[in-house]
Structure 1
Amino acid sequence: MGLILSLVGATVMAIYFFWSNNYSLTKAKAGIMGLLYLFIILISFSF
């Protein structure tokens, strides 16, 4: 349950950042999103 909610939340955040920047995703923003996904996945597996 927690994993699903976390992935949904991360996806919504990714879509929000994507749309708010007019379809352009900078390397820095892409890196932050990648780290966020890894962090959420690690937290989900730790529970």
Structure 2
Amino acid sequence: MFDTVVRKYNNWVKYRRTVDELSRLSNRELGDLGITRNQIEFVARRGRG
């Protein structure tokens, strides 16, 4: 059970880090990556694991 809590926390940290990093990019930089600002959370969730 403790492993599950730790794993979920680590996944959340990775998600937040990804959202924060992508949010710092300009719209042009995001476009170069093929994503829009509205897709940041989706991309961060999909990237976990």
How high is the TM-score relative to the length of structure 1?
A: 0.47
Identify which of structures 1 and 2 has the higher relative contact order when contacts are C-alpha pairs closer than 8 Å and 6+ apart: 1
TM-score with structure 2 setting the length: 0.45
Bigger radius of gyration, 1 or 2?
A: 2
